[in-house]
Structure 1
């Protein structure tokens, strides 16, 4: 099924004011004593995020204008989603950009995250050697593709790191009725970032689940091709890959830089930030699709999935 993208609000130029998601009066260097807003110039924002946003180079393009505008520094810590959220739980991060909604929901339900926003999306794909030993090329049913790989005992490299990609992979095996604990030596726990896993799969002529952005950015360096497409190319919806951004709750960790985190969320979900995401390419291919701005905003983005449903009252 083709993606039915919510209408993206076209960019109106990068010189306009950036929305600050509730953060007002960021201060200036005029010495005006009437300026009562928080002063953020010279401060540092710690962003924990996934390896895919870091490895593709997207964050370099996004962060530079923000740093220049406000005179701040963004320190990016690239980890798997699970590790990025754990760093934030420990109070060692100000804002988190990740892509595993179930883990984000736990983070918010436990009180560590506030003001979540949908940010962007791409999709997951099954990649492997051109020989395609399990014969999954062109398969439109992801469960059938994974079952074929398992039945053929074709080598498959897993992230194995509680990242967003690993979380999605486990969900897909489970949906196919397969138990990874029963897999043999063909199932390899790679335990690395997406770039490292793609290199490993390439060297071992194995399959793996990858986010499209990282694969496209690395495709000239590896000997892998896409065998099962995601919804960006009319593949199964189960392979959708949505990224969110969440501020760390200052009521839990009072030392976090909440003002700067909210300024960053405001910028990255603004027309300017979303246009940078939408325009970012590698080898002529768009890696991510902006999702924060829509003519029909999705309320569910702000709260854990299922929150406020009738089942909560039962």
Structure 2
């Protein structure tokens, strides 16, 4: 009987140790999760998954990225379904600031928009001197053109270029995907169509886009400049640490590592 009571006491004691031990260790290793609405272009390139783990580990946080077009990202943020936002359309952020939904925003990296299209038509664009001329040539020849058509920053920039070209995208070859950058590039490859894209996503996916190549690029063309920004809700001031991190030497080194690992050249550039 004494032995049985002893065993029961020992089992109860070990059970309490397990319960309190798990509670203790899970408490010390508690991780805070933040939802970040982000544009598909910087997410589809794999950039965010490369540069955020070091910050997450150091600060015991976890980012859940919601990858959508910039316009949709703003809606998600406005609805309170995201704590922070990463987009590349400055006018959207100015609007959020005006509505006092953010206090400020941080420009952290940039790349360029490029015109991508079917390899067998590349020679037709050799003498093109501007992105507007390229769009005119596409419209004139009724070439297939895939548009994101999703209120994303890329789509807004595309419409801006059509306007600068003094043309409307209402031709038979104009295809509206309504999808993110990666999906739209896959569609353009399938249709052998032209598409405006950020260079990082294209170069990251290039091996799978056998029908496409860069048709026109110009880093000196202001309309093709593509800057990414981070902002967060004033209710989530803890995210100010991440904003500071985006300006740190550690982040800069990770950007350089990402460029070298996937592109062997500078694609993402630090914004000072």
- The TM-score, its normalising length taken from structure 2, stands at 0.84
SS in 1 for 2:53: helix
Partners of 1:141 and 1:112 lie apart in 2 by 38
Report the CA distance shift for 1:138/1:202 in structure 2 as closer, same or farther (over 3 A). farther
Equivalent residue number for residue 89 of structure 2: 100
Distance 1:133 1:121 in 2: 26
Residue 278 of structure 1 corresponds to 256
Partners of 1:111 and 1:174 lie apart in 2 by 31
Match of 2:114 in 1: 125
Structure 1 residues not aligned, in runs of 5+: 1-28, 30-38, 251-257, 294-314
Q: 2:39 maps to what in 1?
A: 50
Alignment of 1:170-189 (within 5 A): 170-180=159-169, 183-189=170-176
Tell me by how many angstroms 1:279 deviates: 2.9
Aligned-partner SS, 2:171: coil
Q: How many residues align?
A: 243
Pick aligned residue for 1:156 from 145, 170, 177: 145
Q: 1:185, CA displacement in angstroms? A: 2.2
DSSP 3-state at the match of 1:166:
helix
Going from structure 1 to structure 2, the CA distance change for 1:289 and 1:262 (only over 3 Å counts) comes to same
How big is the shift at 1:107?
2.1
Cα distance, 1:40 vs. partner?
A: 11
Q: Does residue 152 of structure 2 align to residue 168 of structure 1?
A: no
CA contact (8 A) 1:230 1:240 kept: no
SS in 2 for 1:154: coil
Q: Distance in 1 between matches of 2:247 and 2:152?
A: 23
**TM-score, normalised by the number of residues in structure 1:** 0.73
Superposed, 1:205-284 pairs within 5 Å as: 205-222=192-209, 223-231=211-219, 235-250=220-235, 258-281=236-259, 282-284=262-264
C-alpha displacement of 1:140: 2.6
- Distance apart, 1:199 and its partner CA: 0.9
Q: Distance in 1 between matches of 2:123 and 2:159?
A: 19
Q: Does the Cα contact within 8 Å between 1:278 and 1:290 map onto a contact in 2?
A: no
After superposition, the C-alpha distances for 1:70-99 in whole angstroms (9 at most, x for unaligned) are 111111111111111111111111111110
CA radius of gyration, larger in: 2
| 3-state secondary structure, aligned to 1:286 | coil
Between 1 and 2, higher relative CO (CA 8 Å, sep ≥ 6) is seen in 1
